[in-house]
Amino acid sequence: MWRKSSYSANAVDCVEVGRGVGIRDTKAPATHLAVAPGSWSTFLLSVKLGKFARSGQTD
């Protein structure tokens, strides 16, 4: 089952996450990038900690 971020609203240019499957672009739903659960958890934690924020931006 694929989920789109609530931040995407009704936009068509979105990334979706599939539990145990990976991530995919809504414009190319037939393909996806497999992501290991541990790697996904690490990525989410990094996002929450602001490691991908632009320089000087924390929100």
Q: What percent of the chain has pLDDT over 70?
A: 85
Alpha-carbon torsion angle 48, 29, 34, 3, nearest 10: 40
First to last CA, the chain: 29
Q: What percent of the chain has pLDDT over 90?
A: 7
Cβ atoms of 45 and 32 within 8 Å: the answer is no
Q: Over 70: is that where the pLDDT of 58 sits?
A: no
pTM for this predicted structure = 0.63
Burial group, residue 3, by CB count within 10 angstroms (0-12, 13-18, 19+): exposed
What is the per-residue pLDDT across 4-54, written as a single tens digit (0 to 9) for each? Answer: 877 776 666 788 888 877 888 888 888 889 998 899 889 889 988 988 877
Give the per-residue pLDDT at 45.
92
